[in-house]
Structures are given as structure tokens and as C-alpha cells.
Amino acid sequence: MRVGGRLTWGRRARAGAVLTALLAGVVPPAVALVPAAATAGAAAGTPVCQVRDDRLREISGMVATDDGYVVINDGADDEARRRIFFLDQRCAVVRTVSFPSRPRDTEDLAIGRDGTVWVGDIGDNDRTRTTVGVWRLAPGAKQPVLHRMTYPDRPHDAEALLLDASGRPLIVTKGGSGTVFLYAPSTALRSDATTPLTALGQVTVPTTTTSNPFSFLGRGVITGAASAPDGRRVVLRSYADAFEYDVPDGDVVRALTTGTPRITPLPDEPQGESITYSRDGRSLLTVSESAGQAAGTRSTILRYPATATTLTAAPSTESVDPVTPTSVRPAAGEVGGVDGRTWPLAVGAGTLLVLLGLAGVLWWRHTVRR
């Protein structure tokens, strides 16, 4: 959110965190050298509706419901925006639910099969939080209930929340170089105690070349996640792409850590941090923050075709491309036989200078007054 043309502390911290990761070597030069050109054949999403409420300028999480959408804002700087917002099918706010205490950094939403809404209070740009949390809003409840959790190793910044087949929340860390980590509560959540999290594995998302406002940096972080209504697919998103995984046996963790995703480019979304499935499971829905964009810009929910599942496909002896939509393509490592992650990491002082220059440009883009 911009105030008087300047970035809030949260946005400055996000930009600084990305730059720190880059200069510290978390983002390898191999990724930095991937071209920033838009993916060939990538189609923009189809507008569904426009969010015109001024309180919703930093939408960071969204789920679809039978009669509309539920959304939350990133951060907690403004009291009027620290709410769970329920929208109708035209994106108009029909009601809000307040938090009983101030959340720290709400980043994503998930919805259970019984209609329970889960809010991931899991953002930690500076990686200093001793606990993170999820807020559970049961159907008909007047306020959500907070459940605090703590990581087993160190603080992590995270912006993606999923539910497994049992309804257990899964946190997907944001990462920085295309590798992210999964965590889940080790025991049943309690509102009166802090629950330890346990590490469940890691996910390495494919390298792409999809155009986005943050160039190569935007392709290596995970900013949102969602489960299909039938539980047979899950999707992770970056600022640039959506990665869909089949979940044939209900094991979300296994699907993410061992599966190969199908990729839907989300080209040039302004700051895409939200994704969900439509209620019929046929579409992916996304929305970006509008803060910091040109005057008059409103967040718009966009629709993309969900990729065709391979769960019921019969085994084939032929080498056939399973993806038919032009907006969906295989992982970058399968295109032209080149995998960007296998490029040499040590390319000399010239690469370092390029990285420093890119870092300076990015920092300028995030801090300059408009």
C-alpha cells in the first residue's frame, strides 16, 4: 500500500528481502540469466469482475465460494483493511468479518469442504517472528479463532496456504530460488497453545521465462496456493506462473514433493499473490494487488483455463504432449532440451556486476516516488 506516494514498511521490507536473497547468492546466477521475454503463446487471463472497494488495494489471498469470493489484504497497517471480506459474483463487498485481535501479516486463504475459511497469518518479510498463525472461521461464526504455530528450525517468510485431505493446514514458504519448503502442525491445533510445526519436504518449481514485473526474481518465489474443490489437484503460483499438480491418492505432500506440474503462464500480472479454483474446478482464478499501480487501477479477478488432469488418462506407449491449450506448456527444462538450472553457477566477475545492476534497478522500482 502506498501512502502519499511512498511505500509502506512492509513493501520496503519485501523489496529488501528479495535483494538480500539475490546478493547473498540464494538466487543463483543461472536463474538470473534466464531471459525475461514473455512466453510464446502465453495468453492473458479473461477478466471476471473488478474489485472497486478502496479497502481492497492489497489483496493477498482469495477463495471462491458458491455465491462469490472471500479475500483478505496483505499486512495489517490499516484497521479498515484488517478484515475478512466476502464478495458477491460481481466483486462487490457484501459483508466483512473482523479479527478479534490484530493479525501480523495475512497472506493467503484456504477453504475446507465444510465451508470453514482458513486465513494464513504467515508472512514474515524480515524472518523475525517467533510464531506464525492460522485463523479459523467456521461457518456462521462471528469471529475467527487464532491458532499459533512455531517452526522447528528457523523463521520463514511464507505466502501460500493449503489444506490436505484431512483438513490440516499446510504452509508453503515463499522461497527465492525456486525451492520452497512445506510445513504442517505436528499435533492437533489448539487455540490456547502454540503448536509445533514439522517439516514435510521441499518443492522445486520449474524454471520459466514468463514475463512479469519482477523478471527472474518473480519466477522463483511462491506467492499463493489452492486446492481444487474435489481435492484431486493443487496449484502453486509465483508472480509469473501457476503450477498444477495431480493428487491421485489425497496425499498433497507427496504430490508436491514428487510430482511434475503442468504450467499455466500468468503473464504480466501487476503483483499476483492470489490464486484459487472456480467452484466447478474448470478454471484458475487470480487477482493482483492494485496498490502502487497507476492511478485508478483496480484489482481485477482473472480467469485462466485449468490444465487437463492426467489422473484418468490411460497409459500410452507414444511420446505425446499431454498439454493442448496454447497458454499451457511443459517445464522450461523440456523446451529445446535446455534446463536453465544446469548452467554454470560461477561465471566470473561479469555476472556479479550484472546482478548488482539488476538489484539496483529493482530497488529503484520499489522505492521511487511516483
Higher pLDDT, 36 or 214: 214
Q: How far apart are CA 311 and CA 309, in angstroms?
A: 6
Confidence check: pLDDT of 27 > 60: no
pLDDT at residue 362, as a whole number:
55
pLDDT at residue 351, as a whole number:
43
Instruction: Give residue 247's Cα distance to chain centre.
Output: 19
pLDDT at residue 360, as a whole number:
55
295 and 338 Cβ atoms separated by less than 8 Å = no
pLDDT at residue 117, as a whole number:
98
Q: How far is the CA of 289 from the CAs of 50, 154, 198, 302, in angstroms?
A: 12, 29, 31, 12
138 and 189 Cβ atoms separated by less than 8 Å = no
The whole-number average pLDDT for the span 107-120 is 97
The whole-number average pLDDT for the span 132-154 is 97
Q: What percent of the chain has pLDDT over 70?
A: 72
pLDDT at residue 78, as a whole number:
85
Q: How far apart are CA 324 and CA 340, in angstroms?
A: 24
Residue 349 pLDDT level (bands cut at 50, 70, 90): very low
Higher pLDDT, 296 or 305: 305
Residue 205 pLDDT level (bands cut at 50, 70, 90): very high
pLDDT at residue 23, as a whole number:
42
Closest by Cα among 280, 267, 271, 283 to 229: 280
**2 Cβ contact list (under 8 Å, min separation 6):** 8, 11, 291, 292, 370
Identify the weakest region by mean pLDDT among 180-184, 187-191, 323-327: 323-327
> Over the stretch 65-86, which tens digit does the pLDDT of each residue have?
999 999 999 976 788 999 999 9
Residue 206 pLDDT level (bands cut at 50, 70, 90): very high
Average pLDDT, the chain: 80
Higher pLDDT, 39 or 348: 39
Q: How far apart are CA 98 and CA 290, in angstroms?
A: 22
Higher pLDDT, 159 or 23: 159
Higher pLDDT, 11 or 239: 239
**364 Cβ contact list (under 8 Å, min separation 6):** none
222 and 206 Cβ atoms separated by less than 8 Å = no
Q: How far apart are CA 34 and CA 314, in angstroms?
A: 35
Q: How far is the CA of 283 from the CAs of 130, 286, 302, 350, in angstroms?
A: 37, 10, 10, 44
Residue 313 pLDDT level (bands cut at 50, 70, 90): very low
- Alpha helices by DSSP H, listed for 229-342, are 252-258
> Over the stretch 207-259, which tens digit does the pLDDT of each residue have?
999 999 999 999 999 999 999 999 999 999 999 999 999 999 999 999 999 99
Identify the weakest region by mean pLDDT among 26-40, 91-105, 186-200, 305-319: 26-40
Cell matching residue 275: 490464486
83 and 332 Cβ atoms separated by less than 8 Å = no
The whole-number average pLDDT for the span 345-358 is 46
Rounded to 5°, angle at Cα 363 from 361 and 367: 120
Q: How far apart are CA 43 and CA 21, in angstroms?
A: 30
